[in-house]
Amino acid sequence: MPDGAATSNLYRPKLATILSEGYGLGDLRRDAVAGLTVAVLALPLSMAIAVASGVSPERGLYTAIVGGFLVSALGGSRHQIGGPAGAFIVLVAATVADVGLPGLLLTVFLSGLMLAALGLFRLGGLIRYMPHAVTVGFTAGIALTILASQIKDLAGLTLSGAEPGPVGLKLLALAEAASTFNPAALGLGIGVAGLILWLRRVRPAWPGMLLALVAATILARFVHLPVETIGSRFGGIPHSLPAPALPVVSWDLIVRCLPAALGFTLLGGLESLLSAKVADGMTGRVHRSNMELVAQGLANVGSAVFGGIAVTGTIARTATNIRAGARTPVSGMLHAVFLLAFMLVAAPLASYVPLSALAGILVVVAWNMAEKREFASLLGQWRAAAVLLATFGVTVLHDLMSGIIAGCAVAALLWLGSRIARRLGS
């Protein structure tokens, strides 16, 4: 099997390569099974990420359908699955709070243009030089922030005002609302998280997230648990995709959205190329990094046009796609088609989904996102620990962009210090 290294920098979608090599019925069958498997995973996850990001659940589905289709159809990886990602929850929620939904859509649109430009200027390889300790640090910081953001729905708390963004202020507001604690919501959320983790251990091939969500929904519905649902908060989800429309554009809004768009671009590039690299390691292939960035950019533009949120390559769904036997990017395209079919046929059922169950899913996502062993390992190396803790601390206390800048600055200072010490020593 060729490893693809000779064509790794070509501006040619992997789908075009696959079709030129020949695509048969056997390939389609394997891709269809893999696509359905990933869609079953992506369905509850897309809605949960959207709700946690401060938008309605259907926008997560729009993202997975439109963005996921474009990532697979145009991307530089055979197996990459695109869609909404937990890593973006903090950035998306902060953007919605700052500039509202119209500003979010413009931010995603601008980020898409930036990602495509990075690919066209052949900058895909540069993102790989991000220090490993910085990557582990901001990933752990995001995981902790996501966990804090789920306490409200997990415990069924009712706040007197809007939920603060910074973790410290958020925890204070949640503590003040402790008297509104809902035991039924907490039990349901913890039960969902526990069931997912248990099924992952005893039946790893089963769609644990979907099964846990369905079980929680049936229990809440027929036992009449006093918990908030998608229907009670959002009124359900639509039956189809909305008509495409360009985001609202004004110079003032662009200026306000630009910092967030830069954050989306940096995180999206890192997450997507890391996911593609993981896929390479599992398959022996080599992705086309610049083509992948162009595809991710166009997918974000498409998502914004259809009212979706940020799109990126997703490691868990990509790995699931490979393990399910995917052969080509068609599996990712079919995963988007299957999600669209759900919207067309079963959208009314989503109204009964408890929000605490979605929070339970994201508790598992946050737990899996934090590279706990790698974090502990890096703490044993003082230079790496300094970079790691600077990135982690600033990410949690301030924001992702500041955390990455802080971590890279510490890494650069340590590198410079070591070079000076060597020269003085010689």
Tell me what pLDDT residue 7 has: 53
Tell me what pLDDT residue 104 has: 97
Tell me what pLDDT residue 9 has: 54
Tell me what pLDDT residue 28 has: 94
Interval 355-374: pLDDT, tens? 999 999 989 988 988 889 99
Tell me what pLDDT residue 2 has: 47
Going by C-alpha positions, the residue among 316, 363, 370 that lies closest to residue 141 is: 370
> Using the 8-state DSSP alphabet, how is residue 311 labeled?
-
The segments of the chain whose pLDDT lies below 70 read 1-9, 127-128, 426
165 contacts 97 by C-beta, under 8 angstroms: yes
Residue spans of alpha helices (H) in 177-288: 183-202, 208-222, 230-234, 251-283
Distance CA 356, CA 379 (A): 34
Tell me what pLDDT residue 6 has: 47
Show the tokens assigned to 33: 């099974």
Interval 156-179: pLDDT, tens? 999 887 788 778 888 899 999 999
Tell me what pLDDT residue 278 has: 83
For residue 61, with 0-12 CB atoms within 10 Å meaning exposed, 13-18 middle and 19 or more buried, which class applies?
buried
- How many degrees, rounded to 5, is the angle at CA 46 between CA 44 and CA 51? 95
Distance CA 186, CA 334 (A): 35
Q: Strand pairing partners for 82?
A: 313
411-417, long-range: CB within 8 Å, 24+ apart, which pairs?
Answer: 411/131, 411/133, 411/134, 411/387, 414/383, 414/386, 414/387
- How many degrees, rounded to 5, is the angle at CA 362 between CA 359 and CA 366? 140
Show the tokens assigned to 121: 């200027």
Distance CA 271, CA 404 (A): 13
